Amino acid sequence: MNPLSHILRRALRYGALGFALCAMLFGSLAMADDLKEKMAAALTGFAGQPIGIEAVRSSPAPGIAEVQIENGPMIYATEDGNYFFLNGDLHQTSATGAINLTEERRAVTRKEQLAAVAVEDMVVFSPDGEPRDYIAVFTDVTCFYCQKLHREVDQLNAKGIEVRYLAFPRGGVDSEGAQKLATAWCAEDQQATLTELKAGVELPVNDCADNPIAAQYQLGQDMGVSGTPAIVTSSGLMVPGYRPADDLAALLGLD
């Protein structure tokens, strides 16, 4: 679900401000109406559903407005409506939506972090022929949605998408899940072993000394992973949770 949609569904309704107050704070009703119209258009495009603006007013910070969303929270925006803050992230508005500038910065950092990890330290499922793109997936063998995503690896490969797994034991590096992940990473046939473990097959623990489980778990924490699967695209975009193969292909522009 879109983060904004989720917030708007759960937020409490706030009271409206009158036109007279808007005029007093913004200098004219036209300025207030312009901001309301601009924010409504941007947030509607961003959320993918109609979003109305109940009221606007100046905040204690110069140049920053308080924007009260209908049946939703109050957010802060620049008084020209070109930028707003949501969940601490800075967004830039347009006539058709908004861009999360903070997430774009995070994506650059994630891409750099992933580039520092040797592909040989991942468990990789490659398509026949040259991959068209790839996703990196922080995974755990005991995670239901990790198992569900893994059953679609063949579909992803058929679309030319390479799947690069990184270990993220949800119970920590001393958990049983970490031992099972190590068993896959230490196996002679990593792909087959990981597939068997995700199918619930009980295998003897094979915890080799030089496995990268702890390092990849720490990397996931550094990148903000809080659950599995956590999918990171080649551009550094973080996609939390399971997505069907068709959706991932569309996200990568391969549909």
Catalytic residues: 140, 143, 146, 170
d(CA 50, CA 28): 26
Q: What is the CA radius of gyration of the chain?
A: 23
**HSE value, Cβ hemisphere, 13 Å, CA-based, for 253:** 5
d(CA 188, CA 126): 17
Structure tokens at 254: 């391969």
Which one-letter DSSP state was computed for residue 247? H
- Selection from 165, 151, 177 nearest residue 231 by Cα: 165
- Selection from 104, 88, 93 nearest residue 53 by Cα: 93
Q: Rounded to the nearest 5°, which phi and psi values hold at 101?
A: -70, -35
The single residue listed with the structure tokens 């049946």 is 71
d(CA 52, CA 242): 31
